[in-house]
A and B are shown apart, each in its own frame.
Chain A
Amino acid sequence: MTMQEARVDHTIIKDFVPEGARVLDVGCGDGSLLALLEQTRSVDGRGLELSQQGVNTAVARGLSVIQGDADTDLVTYPDKAFDVVILSETLQATQAPKTVMEQLLRISDKVIVTIPNFGNWRARLHLLLRGEMPVTKSLPYSWYDTPNVHFCTLRDFLSLARELGASIEASAALDAHGDQLTWNVPWSVWNLVAAQGIFVLTSQSPKDTA
């Protein structure tokens, strides 16, 4: 297996994952993130993926990936089964995002979530000026064929995390080109410019970051 240049979001996630951790990647696609984590972090990795094609590709690269649905299959894992659970660009495609988040926080103390930001200025302008549901590079689907059924903005996600009693241990944002935003600005700015948000949630005693 040759390693392709890793996606920026994958590289950022990688830095949040401790060496040798037991990891579950929910919605792992073809397993490229898991493969990266196994190679660079020696993780004990598992994956869950809805699409059969993704599963077969991942298993063919020697990864422990199963075909399944985040909405229905997370209940089969015991409490605190993993050191880290990753939900990468998947929350918006689930039927019950809140339940999924609750399950993730149940099976691991550390949950890394990445979400496409519906609050990005391009999306806002698209709706404002054209009066159409946004179709952008990072959100390329038309409203009628999108697998994404529950969009949220970064701000919305933060509210959900608060409601679930999870605290944000770390976060990062990427622009539409997939580059990391490094400016130290308030959330309202990130919520406008970021195309993707990456959050490290912890279900343990919240360290209040306000």
Chain B
Amino acid sequence: MSTQSAIQAQPDGAILSIAEPMVLASGDRLDQCDVAYTTHGTLNADRSNAILICHALTGDQHVIGTHPVTGKAGWWETLAGPGKPLDTDRYFLVCANVLGGCMGSTGPSSTNPATNETYGLSFPLVTIADMVDAQAHLLDHLGIDRLLAVIGGSMGGMQVLQWAARYPDRVASAIPIAAAARHSSQNIAFHEVGRQAVMADPNWQGGQYDKAGTRPTKGLAVARMGAHITYMSDNALHRKFGRNLQDRQAISFGFDADFQIESYLRHQGMTFVDRFDANAYLYLTRAMDYFDLALDHGGVLASAFENTTARFCVISFTSDWLFPTSESRAIVHALNASTAKVSFVEIETDRGHDAFLLEEPELFTTVRAFLTSVAEKEGVQEESRPGEVTP
């Protein structure tokens, strides 16, 4: 199943090629696929300290360290690293680019081995469950039977829930953050607007932009701008930008980016297209839309968690209106009904959905304490870190 060399840390990333065909939820088959991943920390001798990190819609496997495309810090360095709640001195962290993504795992921008052409829209639709299956292959490869924890925010949180439901024996604890057991109508609506923006860009070329030598950057940027608004709260926008003007003393009576918020959004849109594939955006938003964990279990969410022995730590944020606390509460109630062991914390913040990526001390305290308690119960030894000061 595993080789000794597989246990070495892969902080800069590695690629696992899955040679055996994967049957997807849609019924389609992927005869071959790649899973790009990173690992941090050291897998202990009994392989009991592994934590799988599931990234969100536009995240990737570069949790820690310099991002190869943007040159920016890893997306979860707030939470993961030496001495952090996801402590690389104590745990072995694994994060894989999702199936359908565009940072090395197979997705619509990959080459179809059967045709030697870019998949584009011929790539089969993937679901959250398919993503989780691909991650399970990766864990097999790494020789990890059971995860100490699986953690993620937003779409990552959906994968966390799917993990607990699909592989109950492989998960000791699950931490879904700012997540939901199904994508709401409102959220599907936002995604549809984003997809239509991409498709309305003439450079999209019916999804075959690679062949046409174009890139639908304008459409994708608009999609990102719209989505970005949903990641923040009204209060946070007011606090950060208010009605402040951008590099000018007065309004221009035109359609320039007069306001700071406009300039900020345009910047967000423009930088996003440098690192993200438009078709991957269509596929991943669709995977979120299709997610409905109860539907796969006779309409009863509690049934999804029937066989789980995992401990859960459900976390939401007060100002998150994209994945509001009510969604987390529905998960908690289902977990109650299946008598699972669950902690549930709603964290007070005005930073909206994106709070899970930010400096939120209460999030850190919660994750640290929960993991410490799980690690203790699972018999994971505490690493001694001489000279290390833990906050």
Which residues does A use to contact B, with CB under 8 Å? 22, 44, 46, 52, 55-56, 59-68, 73, 76-78, 81
Residue of B nearest to A65 (CB): B343
CB neighbours of B339 from chain A (8 A)? 22, 77-78, 81
Q: Tell whether, in the assembled complex, residue A66 and residue B369 are in contact, meaning their CB atoms are under 8 Å apart.
A: no
Measured as residues with beta carbon below 8 angstroms from the partner, the interface class of chain B is 20 to 34
| 29 pairs from A and B in contact (CB 8 Å cutoff) | A46-B342, A55-B345, A55-B346, A56-B362, A56-B365, A56-B366, A59-B344, A59-B370, A60-B365, A62-B369, A62-B372, A62-B373, A63-B343, A63-B373, A64-B311, A64-B343, A65-B343, A66-B332, A66-B336, A66-B342, A66-B344, A67-B344, A68-B329, A68-B332, A76-B334, A76-B337, A77-B336, A77-B337, A78-B339
The answer, among A56, A62, A78, for a CB contact under 8 Å with B345, is: A56
Flag whether B197 is at the interface (Cβ < 8 A): no
Q: How many A-B residue contacts, CB cutoff 8 Å?
A: 63
CB neighbours of B334 from chain A (8 A)? 76
CA distance A77 to B333 in the complex (A): 8
The answer, among B333, B344, B372, B373, for a CB contact under 8 Å with A55, is: B344
CB neighbours of A63 from chain B (8 A)? 343, 373
Flag whether B267 is at the interface (Cβ < 8 A): no
The 9 closest A-B pairs by CB, nearest first: A62-B373, A66-B344, A76-B333, A76-B336, A60-B369, A59-B343, A64-B341, A81-B339, A60-B365
Q: A77-B336, A77-B339 are in contact. Are A60 and B348 (CB under 8 A)?
A: no
CA distance A196 to B228 in the complex (A): 54
CA distance A78 to B369 in the complex (A): 28
CA distance A76 to B340 in the complex (A): 12
Q: A52-B348, A77-B336, A77-B337 are in contact. Are A59 and B366 (CB under 8 A)?
A: yes
CA distance A65 to B348 in the complex (A): 17
Q: A76-B337, A78-B339, A81-B339 are in contact. Are A59 and B332 (CB under 8 A)?
A: no
Q: Tell whether, in the assembled complex, residue A61 and residue B346 are in contact, meaning their CB atoms are under 8 Å apart.
A: no
Q: A64-B311, A66-B332, A68-B332 are in contact. Are A59 and B345 (CB under 8 A)?
A: yes
CA distance A20 to B337 in the complex (A): 21
Residue of B nearest to A53 (CB): B348
Complex interface bits, B338-361 against A, C-beta within 8 A gives 1, otherwise 0:
010111111110000000000000
CB distance from A21 to the nearest CB of B (A): 14
CB distance from A58 to the nearest CB of B (A): 8
CB distance from A37 to the nearest CB of B (A): 14
Flag whether B313 is at the interface (Cβ < 8 A): yes
CB neighbours of A62 from chain B (8 A)? 369-370, 372-373, 376
CA distance A57 to B347 in the complex (A): 12
CA distance A68 to B346 in the complex (A): 11
CB neighbours of A59 from chain B (8 A)? 313, 343-345, 366, 369-370
Q: Tell whether, in the assembled complex, residue A46 and residue B362 are in contact, meaning their CB atoms are under 8 Å apart.
A: no
CB neighbours of B337 from chain A (8 A)? 76-78
Q: A59-B370, A73-B336 are in contact. Are A46 and B345 (CB under 8 A)?
A: no
* Most A CB within 10 A of own CB, among B337, B343, B362: B343
* Most B CB within 10 A of own CB, among A44, A66, A68: A66
CB neighbours of A64 from chain B (8 A)? 311, 341-343
CB neighbours of B311 from chain A (8 A)? 64
CB distance from A94 to the nearest CB of B (A): 18
CA distance A60 to B369 in the complex (A): 5
CB neighbours of B347 from chain A (8 A)? 56
Complex interface bits, B303-316 against A, C-beta within 8 A gives 1, otherwise 0:
00000000101100
CA distance A77 to B337 in the complex (A): 5
CA distance A73 to B336 in the complex (A): 9
CB neighbours of B345 from chain A (8 A)? 52, 55-56, 59, 67
CB neighbours of A81 from chain B (8 A)? 339
CA distance A64 to B336 in the complex (A): 11
CB distance from A16 to the nearest CB of B (A): 21
* Most A CB within 10 A of own CB, among B314, B345, B348, B370: B345
CA distance A81 to B335 in the complex (A): 12
CB distance from B365 to the nearest CB of A (A): 5
CB neighbours of A46 from chain B (8 A)? 341-342
Chain B residues 361-381 with CB under 8 Å of chain A are: 362, 365-366, 369-370, 372-373, 376
CA distance A22 to B341 in the complex (A): 10
CB neighbours of A77 from chain B (8 A)? 336-337, 339
Residue of A nearest to B348 (CB): A52
* Most B CB within 10 A of own CB, among A22, A44, A52, A59: A59
